[in-house]
Amino acid sequence: MTEASTAPDRPQTLSASTPCRSEDVPSWDLETDVLIVGLGIAGASAALEAAAAGSDVVVLERASAGGGASAESGGLIYLGGGTPVQKACGFEDSCEEMFKYLMAAGGPSDESKVRLYCENSLEHYDWLVGLGLEFKHSFYAEKTTSPETDDGLCYSGNETAYPFSELAKPAPRGHKPKVEGDGGRLIMDKLLAAVEAGPARVIGDALVETLVRSDDGRVIGAVARVDNRLQYIRARQGVVLAAGGFIMNKEMLARHAPALLKINYPNGTDGDDGRGIRMGVAVGGTAIHMDAGFVTTPFYPPASHLKGILVNEQGQRFINEDAYHGRSGHAILHGQGGNAYLIVDTEIYGKTIAFHQKAAVEDSIEDLEAALKLPPASLVHTVEYYNRHAANGEDPLFHKAEAYLRPLTAAPFAAVDCRNSNAIFAGFTFGGLDTLPTGEVLDSEGEVVAGLYAAGRNSAGLPRWGGGYSSGMSLGGSSFFGRMAGKTAAAAGRR
Amino acid sequence: MTEASTAPDRPQTLSASTPCRSEDVPSWDLETDVLIVGLGIAGASAALEAAAAGSDVVVLERASAGGGASAESGGLIYLGGGTPVQKACGFEDSCEEMFKYLMAAGGPSDESKVRLYCENSLEHYDWLVGLGLEFKHSFYAEKTTSPETDDGLCYSGNETAYPFSELAKPAPRGHKPKVEGDGGRLIMDKLLAAVEAGPARVIGDALVETLVRSDDGRVIGAVARVDNRLQYIRARQGVVLAAGGFIMNKEMLARHAPALLKINYPNGTDGDDGRGIRMGVAVGGTAIHMDAGFVTTPFYPPASHLKGILVNEQGQRFINEDAYHGRSGHAILHGQGGNAYLIVDTEIYGKTIAFHQKAAVEDSIEDLEAALKLPPASLVHTVEYYNRHAANGEDPLFHKAEAYLRPLTAAPFAAVDCRNSNAIFAGFTFGGLDTLPTGEVLDSEGEVVAGLYAAGRNSAGLPRWGGGYSSGMSLGGSSFFGRMAGKTAAAAGRR
């Protein structure tokens, strides 16, 4: 038996939905100015800024080491407005075009966040470089989900795809640090090294069980389980929640985002169980856009697949296939009941990174249609119509870019199985606590919850709509608004 | 100046997001066993059951009289399993088929609620009849949104439409009390008369500002503004929230259901501002499915319009047009960006109840396609394909029922404008507090919030998915689970 289990004033388990009252704190085991929950990219960024502003900072991470889902990501960061990499690669960009794009991409966007993010994009780039991240001045031109090279720049969303291409002047804004393959680990290594080198104190294997709230409703600390013992930690300036989304919590998905239960390859760590969101809600925070998420069944690369056509169970096309794979995935899952095939001919077919199976391979479209049990003459018409216009470089239905328009004529023809029942659907959640751009958490009336901040997927940030996501919005938004939360908390009065 | 504004211990305004602490209650102005917030169909049903169980009951209604959105509704109640009306009209039904249908219709259904609702449907019918509601033993056969006659039974959802027709044996379950035109007012008149005749005390013009919570987290009462004076009302057994949805609150829609901002004809009363949900969240309740709602642009009646075809901006069909109008509306708003036309020929065209405009009228489909600026040969193909199969009584794409399959050949042809920009889109919200079938409100960890109950659109009830709604699920579910909440609260210990 541990000390905690025998002491009556230290309960064995606490519920995330029941804040600890200040009068129930037996004594403070630790005091700090800013307490940060979670050491992914949002928490690390918050820690660096809060410490830089002169605050005492403690970071609690439930895993034994920091990194979180960010460390497992591809490592793209959405930046623009004329970064050195964009300029070196010959791309013009402006804060205004980036703003227009992100407003369209976010769906129900938070204009004040988007504005602040765009206006500070160059500064944020410099901050990342200052941490030791190097971005190669080279452009990866092939359409992909995440470049396998160490090139520093790529298109990482729907910028060149209709209708976004008409809403804002396209520019590549996916910035990747110089490393081959995924870049998330490198990014987190640099951030974690900076945190380690600074004054912030990191405590690992520390699961925060609930927040501590004072009589007047202010968040004044947290109760964490460290070494199987409950630790009461006072935060004089505030608590920053940065503990990730809830893609790993099937109960939360069922309650808030039932459509995302169809994701069979969740992007996240075990810690992405939404505990931070739930603790924030328990002290009066409001969780918003909880139904939203990213979903993809990446049918490209190879980029040649963008020359194929996605069809639904009616044999109809339903999207321009050159859309970002998350936009296609959103359309398949939410619009087509999770059922679609990519129709390709032999010249453009290739293996996908998700190892999609072929639902059928036939020498004619007629036979393919029959093999897939599509309605009679449906696929034949769709391909005939597509081919006729593609030959002229046109896609009157969905306006796919000319580069990907080419008649499908080289037999045999295959249907790449993009049905939810047979293919990988990856994804994660967007919903979280409603925050101001400063990171302050808002209650149901839009008032600030005193002492509480949130960033990363504990908050509803830049991305709020699977139909418009671009790679890099998560790492970009979470690091930037993590910094904001850290700065704001550090500027708060000490209590 | 009123008394309240000068007494320092009685604040002028309270925030729904900040519960009043028991120690801040100056004195109780009124004490009761069960306090019910809202006198729509859920609140009235809860009041009747709580009073019948022997509890002292107080009902607070912010309007000057009860009724709420229920009184403005068409008055259909979803009942089945072999009601006297179903039997008299020659329809077989069973609890099991009703269960299968409602599980499919609810999308992310709450199985325990659906089960309980189906098992008690006959008893609930009897209860309604016991209140003086009469259901004529006659069947309204025409497909409509709400019968204008006094017939007692109709199909009120997707029961006969694909794919639901294959998931459960169809039976009409829309029960309407005997009155011509809308029946909601009659239903509420009967319920309100029963409440008036009973021991429950109703206080009108009483806006509940916030809930009162004791030190241990239990809800023990509410603070209401009555006669411009704050009244502290103690509830010894519990508080039932039954104050309606949030379709009238644009801020809440923006935060939780941004797609529903496109509803330009909200179904509700001014009181449907979500205050009940917000007050419940403030004491730890969890709001779920907040993005979900009902939406319709009712393009029928006339039922002949079901013989037309709905097409999107690509000139493609996207749904079986004989689906319930809420399912079509959901598909148009969420799946087609709010843009669709109903294509009809002169033989089936008629005025709709929503007074849709004609976007174009032409003598040929070719000309109609051009007038609508649809992609070349798109509508021509869609109509040709539809006509060819309709002539054989078949709809290989979407399986519309044979009764509505007929080639569109009688010029001139019209496009009924069902675009969100030009047509009425009516609707309301489904999201609310997560409750057990008993009405008990659950927190973020799935634990009961002591002393708090919710029903009607303050809770997430039977309907949770616009794609599967049937008329009558709201009045039916809200009255039944209102009764459950009233019974459960009345069975709770007095504190």
B357 and B329 in a single domain? The answer is: yes
Q: Do B314 and A398 count as a contact with CB atoms less than 8 A apart?
A: yes
pLDDT tens digits for A460-488? 999 999 999 999 999 999 999 999 999 99
Q: Which residues of chain B have pLDDT under 50?
A: 1-8
B394 and B413 in a single domain? The answer is: yes
Does residue A389 fall inside a structural domain? yes
Read off φ and ψ for residue B459, nearest 5 degrees.
-120, 160
The whole-angstrom distance between B445's CA and the closest CA on chain A is 6
B202 and B265 in a single domain? The answer is: yes
Bond into A412 cis (ω within 30): yes
Q: What is the DSSP string of A310-370?
A: EE-TTS-B-S-TTS-HHHHHHIIIIISTT--EEEEETTT----TT-PPEEEEESSHHHHHH
Does residue B338 fall inside a structural domain? yes
CA distance B476 to B102: 12
Number of structural domains (chain B) is 2
For residue A11, the model assigns a pLDDT of 60
Tell which phi-psi region holds residue A238, choosing left (phi > 0), alpha (psi between -120 and 50) or beta.
Answer: left
Q: Do B282 and A444 count as a contact with CB atoms less than 8 A apart?
A: yes
B328 and B292 in a single domain? The answer is: no
Nearest CB to A282; choose among B107, B284, B385: B284
Does residue A111 fall inside a structural domain? no
What residues in B contact A381, CB-CB < 8 Å?
381, 385
Extract the runs of DSSP E, i.e. beta strands, from A182-279.
Answer: 201-203, 206-213, 219-226, 229-241, 265-266
B305 and B413 in a single domain? The answer is: yes
The whole-angstrom distance between A165's CA and the closest CA on chain B is 18
B368 and B456 in a single domain? The answer is: no
Give the closest residue to B333 by CA, choosing from B386, B291, B378: B291
Asked which of B358, B391, B417 is the last residue of a domain, the reply is B417
Instruction: State the average pLDDT over residues A29-58.
Output: 98
Q: Decide if B38 contacts B15 (C-beta within 8 A).
A: no
Q: Which residue of B has its CA nearest to A330?
A: B335
For the cut 50, the answer to whether the pLDDT of residue A353 exceeds it is yes
B373 and B472 in a single domain? The answer is: no
A138 touches chain B (CB under 8 A): no
* Residue B241, domain extent: 1-75+182-297+426-495
For the cut 70, the answer to whether the pLDDT of residue A302 exceeds it is yes
Does residue B22 fall inside a structural domain? yes
For residue B144, the model assigns a pLDDT of 87
pLDDT tens digits for B295-347? 999 999 999 999 999 999 999 999 999 999 999 999 999 999 999 999 999 99
Does residue A384 fall inside a structural domain? yes
Q: pLDDT tier at A4 (50, 70, 90 boundaries)? A: very low
More confident residue, A419 or B14: A419
B308 and B401 in a single domain? The answer is: yes
The whole-angstrom distance between B481's CA and the closest CA on chain A is 19
DSSP code at position B85: H
pLDDT tens digits for A150-180? 999 999 999 999 999 999 999 999 999 999 9
Asked which of B417, B449, B465 is the last residue of a domain, the reply is B417
B376 and B450 in a single domain? The answer is: no
Q: Could you tell me the CATH number of the domain that includes residue A356?
A: 3.90.700.10
Does residue B164 fall inside a structural domain? no
Q: Decide if B267 contacts B48 (C-beta within 8 A).
A: no
B241 touches chain A (CB under 8 A): no
B192 and B287 in a single domain? The answer is: yes
Extract the runs of DSSP E, i.e. beta strands, from B84-200.
Answer: 153-154, 174-175
pLDDT tens digits for A194-238? 999 999 999 999 999 999 999 889 999 999 999 889 999 999 999
B379 and B487 in a single domain? The answer is: no
Asked which of B387, B417, B447 is the last residue of a domain, the reply is B417
Does residue A377 fall inside a structural domain? yes
B443 touches chain A (CB under 8 A): yes
B302 and B406 in a single domain? The answer is: yes
Q: Which residue of B has its CA nearest to A285?
A: B282
Q: Could you tell me the CATH number of the domain that includes residue B221?
A: 3.50.50.60
Does residue A185 fall inside a structural domain? no
